[in-house]
Amino acid sequence: MVIYNAISDEDLVLLLNNGDRLAFTQLYERYKYLLYVHALRRLRNEAEAEDLIHDLFATIWNRHETLNLKGRLQGYLYTAVRNRIFKLMAHKNVESEYISSFHQAIEPTANITDYLVREAQMAAMIEKEIAALPPKMREVFELSRKQHLSHKEIAEQLNISEQTVSKQVTNALKILKTRLGLLFYLIFLIK
């Protein structure tokens, strides 16, 4: 019987590469709090820090078979968190620009052409993020949100369970929430 909390990071990564969920759980338990505190110090927002860490570990699990860590796991994780923080901050800047553009568009003197260009840019950004979803998840999401099919109809059409449909839609929404931030709420939750 393997005692996971006594195994080195390198051995846990090897087990993780082979799909060992307990090794993944041990890595998560070993580093989640440290990484959370690190992210929280930079972001100063508990929900964003928590989402960032969950997203990181979801990515690690999704890529566990191809995860090739040369060097120390701890360094890799901290770098991954730092990069995600930078990406989130850059995304917040874009978000601020779009919010600002919405305020300008609401003004009666706003130029309708400018508004239409910004709307097209926003739609392109949203479509780009949807297109970046894993293929099966994207297909389920588009059937749900664009064609307005029920989970049961999607399950029948794709010959999968309703539970799988529900999970795929939930995961897609989580990914898009992380990537699109405020735009996510304006678009998908209002529908």
Domain ranges for the chain, please list them. 1-93, 111-191
Top CATH class, 111-191: mainly alpha
What are 23-80's pLDDT values in tens digits?
999 999 999 999 999 999 988 999 999 999 999 999 999 998 888 876 688 888 999 9
What's the distance, Cα to Cα, between the start and end of the chain in Å? 50
Q: Enter the pTM of the model.
A: 0.50
pLDDT of residue 138: 86
Query: pLDDT (tens digit, 9 = 90+) per residue, 116-166?
Result: 777 777 778 778 888 888 889 888 888 887 888 888 888 898 899 989 988
Top-tier CATH class for 1-93: mainly alpha
Q: Is 12 exposed, middle or buried (0-12, 13-18, 19+ CB in 10 A)?
A: buried
